[in-house]
Protein backbone atom coordinates (compact mmCIF):
# COMPACT_ATOMS: atom_id res chain seq x y z
CA UNK A 1 0.00 0.00 0.00
CA UNK A 2 1.29 3.46 -0.87
CA UNK A 3 2.49 5.43 2.16
CA UNK A 4 -0.42 7.70 3.07
CA UNK A 5 1.81 10.04 5.05
CA UNK A 6 2.98 11.50 1.72
CA UNK A 7 -0.43 13.14 1.24
CA UNK A 8 -2.65 15.50 3.20
CA UNK A 9 -5.42 14.00 5.29
CA UNK A 10 -8.08 15.05 2.77
CA UNK A 11 -6.32 12.98 0.12
CA UNK A 12 -6.60 9.78 2.13
CA UNK A 13 -9.38 7.28 1.60
CA UNK A 14 -12.25 7.97 4.01
CA UNK A 15 -11.69 4.66 5.79
CA UNK A 16 -8.01 5.45 6.42
CA UNK A 17 -8.30 8.97 7.75
CA UNK A 18 -8.92 8.28 11.47
CA UNK A 19 -6.12 5.69 11.67
CA UNK A 20 -3.61 7.85 9.86
CA UNK A 21 -4.62 10.96 11.76
CA UNK A 22 -3.97 9.12 15.01
CA UNK A 23 -0.65 7.86 13.68
CA UNK A 24 0.52 11.32 12.65
CA UNK A 25 -1.00 13.56 15.30
CA UNK A 26 -1.48 11.28 18.31
CA UNK A 27 -4.47 10.04 20.29
CA UNK A 28 -5.57 13.43 21.60
CA UNK A 29 -6.05 14.78 18.07
CA UNK A 30 -8.66 12.14 17.19
CA UNK A 31 -12.32 12.86 17.89
CA UNK A 32 -14.66 10.46 19.69
CA UNK A 33 -16.35 9.61 16.38
CA UNK A 34 -12.98 8.90 14.77
CA UNK A 35 -11.95 6.61 17.65
CA UNK A 36 -15.18 4.68 17.22
CA UNK A 37 -14.56 4.56 13.46
CA UNK A 38 -11.16 2.95 14.08
CA UNK A 39 -12.86 0.24 16.15
CA UNK A 40 -15.65 -0.37 13.63
CA UNK A 41 -13.16 -0.51 10.76
CA UNK A 42 -15.57 0.03 7.88
CA UNK A 43 -18.89 1.54 6.98
CA UNK A 44 -21.31 0.39 4.30
CA UNK A 45 -21.89 1.02 0.61
CA UNK A 46 -23.96 4.11 1.37
CA UNK A 47 -22.24 5.42 4.50
CA UNK A 48 -18.64 5.94 5.53
CA UNK A 49 -17.41 4.53 8.81
CA UNK A 50 -16.96 8.05 10.18
CA UNK A 51 -20.55 8.96 9.31
CA UNK A 52 -21.74 5.71 10.92
CA UNK A 53 -19.78 6.55 14.05
CA UNK A 54 -21.22 10.04 14.16
CA UNK A 55 -24.74 8.66 13.79
CA UNK A 56 -24.10 6.25 16.64
CA UNK A 57 -22.82 9.05 18.87
CA UNK A 58 -25.71 11.33 17.93
CA UNK A 59 -28.14 8.67 19.16
CA UNK A 60 -26.76 9.13 22.69
CA UNK A 61 -26.31 12.91 22.41
CA UNK A 62 -22.54 12.46 22.03
CA UNK A 63 -22.35 11.09 25.57
CA UNK A 64 -19.76 8.31 25.89
CA UNK A 65 -21.17 7.32 29.27
CA UNK A 66 -24.56 6.61 27.66
CA UNK A 67 -22.83 4.84 24.77
CA UNK A 68 -21.27 2.48 27.31
CA UNK A 69 -24.74 1.54 28.54
CA UNK A 70 -25.80 0.16 25.16
CA UNK A 71 -25.89 -3.62 24.94
CA UNK A 72 -24.58 -5.60 21.99
CA UNK A 73 -28.20 -6.02 20.92
CA UNK A 74 -28.72 -2.26 21.04
CA UNK A 75 -25.64 -1.67 18.90
CA UNK A 76 -26.65 -4.16 16.21
CA UNK A 77 -29.90 -2.24 15.68
CA UNK A 78 -27.84 0.38 13.85
CA UNK A 79 -27.60 -0.28 10.13
CA UNK A 80 -23.98 -1.09 9.34
CA UNK A 81 -23.17 -2.61 12.73
CA UNK A 82 -23.26 -6.40 12.88
CA UNK A 83 -22.37 -8.73 15.72
CA UNK A 84 -18.60 -8.54 15.12
CA UNK A 85 -18.49 -4.73 15.13
CA UNK A 86 -20.81 -4.53 18.13
CA UNK A 87 -18.67 -6.96 20.11
CA UNK A 88 -15.49 -5.04 19.23
CA UNK A 89 -17.00 -1.75 20.38
CA UNK A 90 -18.50 -3.26 23.54
CA UNK A 91 -15.16 -4.89 24.37
CA UNK A 92 -13.32 -1.58 24.00
CA UNK A 93 -15.81 0.21 26.25
CA UNK A 94 -15.55 -2.56 28.86
CA UNK A 95 -11.76 -2.41 28.72
CA UNK A 96 -11.96 1.32 29.44
CA UNK A 97 -14.20 0.62 32.41
CA UNK A 98 -11.79 -2.02 33.76
CA UNK A 99 -8.84 0.34 33.30
CA UNK A 100 -10.64 2.83 35.51
CA UNK A 101 -11.35 0.08 38.04
CA UNK A 102 -7.67 -0.88 38.14
CA UNK A 103 -6.60 2.68 38.89
CA UNK A 104 -9.21 3.05 41.64
CA UNK A 105 -8.75 -0.24 43.47
CA UNK A 106 -5.06 -0.07 44.32
CA UNK A 107 -4.62 -0.79 48.04
CA UNK A 108 -7.41 1.53 49.12
CA UNK A 109 -8.55 2.32 52.62
CA UNK A 110 -12.17 3.12 53.34
CA UNK A 111 -12.74 5.89 55.86
CA UNK A 112 -15.97 7.37 54.47
CA UNK A 113 -19.02 6.48 52.43
CA UNK A 114 -17.54 8.34 49.46
CA UNK A 115 -14.53 6.01 49.52
CA UNK A 116 -16.88 3.04 49.14
CA UNK A 117 -18.81 4.81 46.39
CA UNK A 118 -15.67 5.63 44.42
CA UNK A 119 -14.64 1.97 44.50
CA UNK A 120 -17.99 0.52 43.47
CA UNK A 121 -19.58 3.16 41.23
CA UNK A 122 -18.08 2.09 37.92
CA UNK A 123 -19.42 -1.42 38.47
CA UNK A 124 -22.98 -0.31 39.19
CA UNK A 125 -23.85 3.06 37.71
CA UNK A 126 -24.89 2.04 34.19
CA UNK A 127 -26.61 -1.31 34.64
CA UNK A 128 -30.17 -2.06 33.46
CA UNK A 129 -30.75 -4.53 36.33
CA UNK A 130 -29.93 -4.62 40.03
CA UNK A 131 -26.71 -6.20 41.22
CA UNK A 132 -25.49 -6.77 44.75
CA UNK A 133 -21.77 -6.36 45.52
CA UNK A 134 -19.70 -6.62 48.67
CA UNK A 135 -16.49 -4.76 49.55
CA UNK A 136 -14.38 -6.82 51.99
CA UNK A 137 -12.06 -5.04 54.42
CA UNK A 138 -9.29 -6.01 56.81
CA UNK A 139 -8.87 -4.64 60.34
CA UNK A 140 -7.19 -1.52 59.01
CA UNK A 141 -10.17 -0.89 56.68
CA UNK A 142 -8.02 -1.65 53.64
CA UNK A 143 -9.88 -3.21 50.73
CA UNK A 144 -9.17 -6.93 50.42
CA UNK A 145 -11.56 -7.62 47.59
CA UNK A 146 -14.81 -6.49 46.00
CA UNK A 147 -17.12 -9.02 44.40
CA UNK A 148 -20.59 -9.46 42.96
CA UNK A 149 -22.98 -11.62 44.97
CA UNK A 150 -26.07 -11.65 42.78
CA UNK A 151 -27.82 -10.26 39.71
CA UNK A 152 -31.53 -9.50 39.78
CA UNK A 153 -34.17 -7.72 37.73
CA UNK A 154 -35.04 -4.08 37.29
CA UNK A 155 -36.64 -3.84 40.74
CA UNK A 156 -34.66 -6.17 42.97
CA UNK A 157 -31.97 -8.74 43.60
CA UNK A 158 -31.31 -11.37 46.25
CA UNK A 159 -28.49 -11.09 48.76
CA UNK A 160 -27.94 -14.36 50.61
CA UNK A 161 -26.23 -13.78 53.99
CA UNK A 162 -24.78 -17.31 53.93
CA UNK A 163 -22.90 -16.61 50.70
CA UNK A 164 -21.80 -13.14 51.82
CA UNK A 165 -20.42 -14.15 55.20
CA UNK A 166 -18.86 -17.38 53.93
CA UNK A 167 -16.89 -15.28 51.44
CA UNK A 168 -15.98 -12.84 54.20
CA UNK A 169 -14.71 -15.68 56.42
CA UNK A 170 -12.79 -17.26 53.55
CA UNK A 171 -11.07 -13.95 52.84
CA UNK A 172 -10.46 -13.33 56.56
CA UNK A 173 -12.34 -10.03 56.32
CA UNK A 174 -12.99 -8.08 59.51
CA UNK A 175 -15.74 -5.94 58.03
CA UNK A 176 -17.80 -5.51 54.87
CA UNK A 177 -19.67 -2.85 52.94
CA UNK A 178 -22.95 -3.82 51.26
CA UNK A 179 -23.51 -2.25 47.84
CA UNK A 180 -26.27 -2.43 45.28
CA UNK A 181 -27.74 -0.26 42.53
CA UNK A 182 -31.17 1.15 41.74
CA UNK A 183 -31.59 1.23 37.94
CA UNK A 184 -34.77 3.25 38.44
CA UNK A 185 -32.72 6.17 39.73
CA UNK A 186 -34.56 6.16 43.07
CA UNK A 187 -31.82 7.00 45.53
CA UNK A 188 -33.70 6.31 48.76
CA UNK A 189 -33.79 2.77 50.18
CA UNK A 190 -36.91 0.64 49.99
CA UNK A 191 -38.32 -1.08 53.04
CA UNK A 192 -36.80 -4.34 51.81
CA UNK A 193 -33.39 -2.60 51.62
CA UNK A 194 -33.81 -1.46 55.22
CA UNK A 195 -34.88 -4.92 56.40
CA UNK A 196 -31.98 -6.57 54.57
CA UNK A 197 -29.46 -4.18 56.11
CA UNK A 198 -30.81 -4.94 59.57
CA UNK A 199 -30.54 -8.71 59.01
CA UNK A 200 -27.01 -8.42 57.62
CA UNK A 201 -25.89 -6.30 60.55
CA UNK A 202 -27.34 -8.82 63.05
CA UNK A 203 -25.70 -11.76 61.26
CA UNK A 204 -22.38 -9.93 61.20
CA UNK A 205 -22.51 -9.31 64.95
CA UNK A 206 -22.85 -13.06 65.56
CA UNK A 207 -19.80 -13.76 63.37
CA UNK A 208 -17.80 -10.73 64.60
CA UNK A 209 -17.79 -9.25 61.08
CA UNK A 210 -18.82 -5.62 61.18
CA UNK A 211 -21.19 -4.35 58.49
CA UNK A 212 -19.75 -0.88 57.99
CA UNK A 213 -22.26 0.58 55.54
CA UNK A 214 -24.80 -0.12 52.85
CA UNK A 215 -24.33 1.96 49.69
CA UNK A 216 -27.14 2.37 47.15
CA UNK A 217 -25.78 3.55 43.80
CA UNK A 218 -27.73 5.41 41.13
CA UNK A 219 -26.69 7.28 38.00
CA UNK A 220 -27.04 10.53 39.94
CA UNK A 221 -25.19 9.72 43.14
CA UNK A 222 -25.49 7.43 46.12
CA UNK A 223 -27.21 6.83 49.45
CA UNK A 224 -25.27 5.77 52.54
CA UNK A 225 -27.03 4.03 55.43
CA UNK A 226 -24.13 4.99 57.69
CA UNK A 227 -24.27 8.68 56.77
CA UNK A 228 -28.00 8.70 57.49
CA UNK A 229 -27.58 7.06 60.91
CA UNK A 230 -29.33 3.87 59.79
CA UNK A 231 -26.58 1.37 60.70
Measured on CA atoms in the order 53, 57, 63, 64, is the torsion positive or negative?
negative
- Phi then psi dihedrals of residue 20, to 5 deg: -70, -35
CATH code, 106-224: 3.40.140.10
Quick one: which H or E segment has residue 19? helix 17-25
- Is the separation of the CB atoms in 212 and 176 below 8 Å? yes
Q: Where are the beta strands (DSSP E) in 99-209?
A: 131-137, 143-151, 175-181
Q: Which pLDDT tens digit goes with each residue over 32-88? A: 999 999 999 988 888 989 999 999 999 999 988 789 889 999 999 999 999 999 999
pLDDT of 228 strictly over 90: yes
Predicted confidence (pLDDT) at residue 103 exceeds the cutoff of 60: no
Break the chain into its structural domains and give their ranges: 4-102, 106-224
Q: Where are the beta strands (DSSP E) in the chain?
A: 131-137, 143-151, 175-181, 210-218, 221-224
**Low-confidence winner among 91-95, 107-111, 170-174, 201-205 (lowest mean pLDDT):** 107-111
Asked if the model's pLDDT at residue 102 lies above 50, the reply is: yes
**135, 179 contact by CB (below 8 A):** yes
| Model pTM score | 0.59
> Is residue 27 predicted with pLDDT exceeding 70?
yes
**pLDDT for the residue numbered 5:** 43
pLDDT digits (tens, 9 = 90+) for 122-163: 889 888 889 999 999 999 999 999 999 998 865 556 788 999
The confidence score (pLDDT) of residue 158 equals: 77
pLDDT for 104-120, tens place per residue? 555 588 999 999 999 99
Beta-sheet pairing, 210-218 with 221-224? antiparallel
Q: How far is CA 119 from the centre of its chain?
A: 11
Amino acid sequence: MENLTNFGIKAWAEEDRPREKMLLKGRSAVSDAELIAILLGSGSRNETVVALSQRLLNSVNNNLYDLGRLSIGDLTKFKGIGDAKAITLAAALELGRRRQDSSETKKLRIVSSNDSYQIIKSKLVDLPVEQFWIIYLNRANNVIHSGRISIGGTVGTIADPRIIFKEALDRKASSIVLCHNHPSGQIKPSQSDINLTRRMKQAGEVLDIHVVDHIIVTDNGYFSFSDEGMM
